[in-house]
């Protein structure tokens, strides 16, 4: 047996119950191993050995369809804003057979009511009402009956079909027609609002242009052939020429040109030029970020005042914006714990409602001689049971949670915050303790070298030849490392003109939390922390005293060993973020937050300096990755729900051990996106209080929606029992509640703290 994985784009899903119906129906096919339907993204993920034609047939049997064109998943969505309001809804109605039937049925119902008002012949009125009921109700009945036959499942469509059929049988043709048309239009309206939410996240796809301007060399130039020995290949005189190329044909390594004001089409690295780039669409940063040679740039961001030549580092399908969209849609599909509880309740609740309705229709007439059918203006118990059947549909309850999760996750994505699922969103609102990494999180993450001190130096400024040699030696090893401190040393060496004095080291090894080692001209060179050197490389007490004095001022030191002796040390300063203090203060003001701690591998003196500046409650220093892991475990034991905020590389174990891991400043870093539960795509720490507040607001909205769903139904259920609620009122209550909780959940799309 060969297991195949497929992804299908589903059309016709209007509510979360549709996704559940599809999952159960397709899972029953022989050969299907797993079937998961992402209602928010309208996608089905399928694995197993099953003919795809059989899957398509089953989907259509259940009343839905498959988009074989891929248009709904295309990255090239039209840039024109979709029309909203009543005209947008009318356009939506005309797009699918089910919604077209609902529209025609509603039109026939309107004509039937008008004919009744003008006292048209009864046959005309009844014909119009019957046509309305049949046209609008046929897709509903077909879907409900097929779900019952295929899934052994009672869904909302079957309940509505039973109610409408019962109304006709007891002579309430008008009630049946109104019931079915209101339901069909309500379902279409619910689908329309859901479609608007899907478009909201897919609008991120519009950030990238359809083409890129690729710079290609003039090859085998006939005009210069033979000149100065030129025999072919790239022409040294013509240089590059611009060529418009479809985005899917742009390859890694290609050189592209992005002019002033243009959108950057793919992820890359600046090869030539300098310009401010507006990264707000990806990271949420409000101010343009200056980009120069060597800096990364991301697809969907907007170039500023100068043209940039960019080397492509990722294909369009693998760009940052594509990964964000993919992960957001996956996140929307993940159920929060509260949603799972609601779904379990609904699975038991729906068949129970049918049983109660059947008992309600039969028991009073049999036991108390109450009227089964209507008598005069008094509704019989069959009519009341049908009303109860409609009112008690769990549609509003089932959709109350997922629509809120979709709205919140999409809102966060617009602000440059990736929340990976409803469970993460729910946990975030319960955090009682926050643990912060220092470098790149509470600090700017762009340290600079303050001083280079060789053991042979006799000058106060630290710029003698011995100090330059020390810096060159450290840079030769750090050129192969990616840590921010390494980048600071390399940048300082380049500024002093000593970066190329020695070749780049070979066999470079990172010593987690300690330093880095490598071979330079055959000699083992080590660059590491003072704590590491105290145990590994003995050195003079006078040197230790100098280093302690520097660290007491909040600077970090790195010592250098050349295989024979300690050559000196380099001091680095990483200033705190401007937003760190305000962020810590904002978190402390949130309900339930009890403790904020900083965990760092730096020295106690450096850590204490940053702790004082940012206002955290406590600090733990000199921590290796495994020490941070143990610190997080202790915090979890003490506080229960703990969030770890870090750069997502050295802090991976701690991020995984925390109740929720939050990665900082990770645009373009696939490892970080996979590790963290929440990713702040830009270097904006102020987004952390925002997303915590969003989580708490989402929890409130979900509670409101569940309360509305159950409260409104309870009122109308009482009315149904006493014969005060008609069928059309029952449908209005059910669909009205569904739309109410949908719109309430969609308010989170525009959440502002």
CA distances from 729 to 105, 111, 384 (A): 18, 20, 12
- Output the DSSP codes for 602-617: S-HHHHHHHHHHHT-S
Topology adopted by domain 448-573 = Calcium-transporting ATPase, cytoplasmic domain N (3.40.1110)
CB atoms within 10 A of CB 740: 17
Residues of 106-120 as b/e, b for ≥16 C-beta within 10 angstroms? bbbbebbbebbeeee
Q: Is 14 a catalytic residue?
A: no
What pLDDT is attached to residue 76? Answer: 37
Q: What pLDDT is stored for residue 81 in this prediction?
A: 45
The two beta strands, 595-599 and 618-620, are parallel
H or E, element range at 246: strand 240-246
pLDDT, tens digit, 9 for 90 and up, residues 185-205: 888 877 787 776 666 555 655
What is the CATH code of the structural domain delimited by 429-443+576-692? 3.40.50.1000
CA 297 to chain centre: 21
Q: What is the pLDDT of residues 245-261, one digit of tens each?
A: 988 889 999 999 998 88
Instruction: Give the pLDDT confidence score for residue 753 in this predicted structure.
Output: 67
Cα separation, 669 vs 215, in Å, equals 26
Helix locations, 449-599, DSSP H:
465-478, 484-496, 530-536, 541-552, 580-589
4-73: CATH architecture:
2-Layer Sandwich (3.30)
Residue ranges of the chain with pLDDT lower than 70?
1-2, 70-85, 196-207, 239, 280-287, 326-336, 339, 343, 460-462, 482, 513, 648-650, 665-675, 753
- Residue of 291, 512, 281, 305 lying closest to 413 (CA atoms): 281
Q: What is the structure's pLDDT at 581? A: 93
Domain boundaries, the chain: 4-73, 76-207, 209-316, 319-428+693-753, 429-443+576-692, 448-573
Query: What pLDDT shows up at residue 71?
Result: 46
Secondary structure string (H, E, C) spanning 648-712:
CCCCHHHHHHCCEEEEECCCCCHHHHHHCCEEECCCCCCHHHHHHHHHHHHHHHHHHHHHHHHHH
- Token digits for 565? 């002796």
pLDDT at position 78: 37
How far apart are alpha carbons 541 and 564 in whole angstroms?
18
3-state secondary structure of 619: strand
* Choice among 254, 437, 574, 677 that is catalytic: 437
Q: Contact, 42 vs 103, CB < 8 A?
A: no
Residue among 655, 693, 663, 694 at smallest CA distance from 681: 663
Q: What is the CATH number of domain 209-316?
A: 2.70.150.10
């Amino acid at each position: 047996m060969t297991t195949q994985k497929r992804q299908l784009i589903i059309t016709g899903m209007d509510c979360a119950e549709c996704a559940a119906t599809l999952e159960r129906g397709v899972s029953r096919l022989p050969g299907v191993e797993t079937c998961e339907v992402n209602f928010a993204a309208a996608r089905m993920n399928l694995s197993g050995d099953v003919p795809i034609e059989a899957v398509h047939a089953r989907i259509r049997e259940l009343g839905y369809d498959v988009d074989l064109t891929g248009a709904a998943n295309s990255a090239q969505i039209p840039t024109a804003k979709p029309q909203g309001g009543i005209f947008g809804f009318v356009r939506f109605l005309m797009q699918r057979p089910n919604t077209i039937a609902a529209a025609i049925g509603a039109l026939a119902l309107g004509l039937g009511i008008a004919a009744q008002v003008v006292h048209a012949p009864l046959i005309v009125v009844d014909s119009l009402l019957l046509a309305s009921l049949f046209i609008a109700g046929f897709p509903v009945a077909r879907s409900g009956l097929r779900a019952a036959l295929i899934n052994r499942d009672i869904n909302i469509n079957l309940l509505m079909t039973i109610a409408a059929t019962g109304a006709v049988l007891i002579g309430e043709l008008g009630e049946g027609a109104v019931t079915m048309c209101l339901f069909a239009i309500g379902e279409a309206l619910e689908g329309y609002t859901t479609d608007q939410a899907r478009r909201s996240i897919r609008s991120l796809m519009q950030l990238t242009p359809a083409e890129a301007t690729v710079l290609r060399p003039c090859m085998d130039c006939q005009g210069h052939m033979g000149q100065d020995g030129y025999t072919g290949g790239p022409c040294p005189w013509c240089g590059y020429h611009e060529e418009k190329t479809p985005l899917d044909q742009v390859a890694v390594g290609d050189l592209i040109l992005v002019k002033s004001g243009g959108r950057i089409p793919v992820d890359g690295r600046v090869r030539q030029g300098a310009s401010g780039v507006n990264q707000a669409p990806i990271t949420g940063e409000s101010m343009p970020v200056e980009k120069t040679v060597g800096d990364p740039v991301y697809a969907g961001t907007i170039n500023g005042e100068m043209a940039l030549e960019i080397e492509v580092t990722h294909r369009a399908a693998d760009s940052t914006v594509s990964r964000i969209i993919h992960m957001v849609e996956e996140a929307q599909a993940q159920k929060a714990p509260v949603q799972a509880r609601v779904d379990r309740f609904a699975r038991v609740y729906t068949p129970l409602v049918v049983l109660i309705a059947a008992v309600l229709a039969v028991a009073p007439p049999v036991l108390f001689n109450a009227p089964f059918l209507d008598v005069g203006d008094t509704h019989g118990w069959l009519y009341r049971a049908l009303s109860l059947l409609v009112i008690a549909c769990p549609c509003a309850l089932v959709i109350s949670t997922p629509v809120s999760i979709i709205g919140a996750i999409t809102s966060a994505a617009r602000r440059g915050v990736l929340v990976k699922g409803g469970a993460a969103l729910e946990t975030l609102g319960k955090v009682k303790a926050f643990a912060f990494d220092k470098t790149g999180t509470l600090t700017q993450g762009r340290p600079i070298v303050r001083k280079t001190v060789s053991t042979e130096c006799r000058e106060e400024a630290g710029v003698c030849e011995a100090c330059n040699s020390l810096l060159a030696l450290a840079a030769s090893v750090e050129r192969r490392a990616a840590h921010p401190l390494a980048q600071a040393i390399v940048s300082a060496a380049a500024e002093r003109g000593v970066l190329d004095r020695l070749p780049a080291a070979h066999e470079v090894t990172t010593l987690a939390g300690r330093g880095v080692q490598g071979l330079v001209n055959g000699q083992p060179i080590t660059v590491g922390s003072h704590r590491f050197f105290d145990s590994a490389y003995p050195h003079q007490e006078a040197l230790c005293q100098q280093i302690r004095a520097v660290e007491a001022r909040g600077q970090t030191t790195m010592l250098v060993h050349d295989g024979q002796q300690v050559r000196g040390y380099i001091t680095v300063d990483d200033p705190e973020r401007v937003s760190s203090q305000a962020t810590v203060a904002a978190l402390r003001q949130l309900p339930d937050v009890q403790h904020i701690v900083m965990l760092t591998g730096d020295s106690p003196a450096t850590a204490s300096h940053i702790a004082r500046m940012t206002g955290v409650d406590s600090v733990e220093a000199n921590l290796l990755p495994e020490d941070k892991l143990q610190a997080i475990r202790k915090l979890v034991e003490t506080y229960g729900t703990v969030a770890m905020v870090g750069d997502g590389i050295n802090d991976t174990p701690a991020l995984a051990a925390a109740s929720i891991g939050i990665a900082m400043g990770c645009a373009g870093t696939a490892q970080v996106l996979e590790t963290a539960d929440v990713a702040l795509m830009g270097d904006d720490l102020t987004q952390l209080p925002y997303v915590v507040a969003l989580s708490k607001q989402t929890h409130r909205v979900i509670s409101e929606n569940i309360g509305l769903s159950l409260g409104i139904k309870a009122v109308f259920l009482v009315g149904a029992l006493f014969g005060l609620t008609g069928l059309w009122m029952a449908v209005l209550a059910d669909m009205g509640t569904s739309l109410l909780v949908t719109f309430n959940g969609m308010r989170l799309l525009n959440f502002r703290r």
